[in-house]
Amino acid sequence: MHWQTWSVNMPKKSPEPLVLDAWALVALLFGQEPAAAVVRELFATAGTVGLPLHMSWINLGEVYYTVGRRKSMDAAEDVLSDILKLAIRVHEPSRKDILAAARLKAVHRLSYADAFAVGLAEKLGAVICTGDPEIVGLSTTIQVMALSRA
């Protein structure tokens, strides 16, 4: 299934898990529309219908340093604290997850951090929510909910 035109109107029964990469959260944090509105709605939906949202600590680290660079490290700490209060499960990679990401990096044109997001989506059988062109380009192999900052 391809999610280029995926709707946030979630089914009431057993929604598929979603993995957010750093691109999706950065779009939300910096108000980059229309992606920010979609991610905002995903978090709202997660709280009301139990939509499973997931993220790798590696990708959350990307968000942290991006906010630190663009704003300040104090802002990055505040953002991290706020994100950890949201309806999202943050996964710490195991040795197996690290090697899976390394294999993905070896085979695909991805950043190493993106490989963790893709690896987590594969592990969970989840849809990955991103606007990152390197990940969107994998939509023939994984389920992608493509966002845009247009």
3-state secondary structure 29-67: HCCCCCHHHHHHHHHHHHHHHCCCEEEEHHHHHHHHHHH
Helices and strands: H and E segment counts in the chain: 7, 5
Q: Is the pLDDT assigned to residue 147 strictly greater than 70?
A: yes
Domains defined for the chain, CATH in brackets: 18-146 (3.40.50.1010)
Judged against a pLDDT cut of 50, whether residue 6 lies above it is answered with no
Q: Residue 52 — pLDDT band, cuts 50, 70, 90? A: confident
37: amino acid identity, one letter: A
pLDDT tens across 69-128, in order? 999 999 999 999 999 999 999 999 999 999 999 999 999 999 999 999 999 999 999 999
Q: What is the tens place of the pLDDT at every residue in 136-146?
A: 999 888 999 99
Q: What is the pTM of this model?
A: 0.88
Predicted confidence (pLDDT) per residue in 19-51, tens digit:
999 999 999 999 999 999 999 999 998 888 888
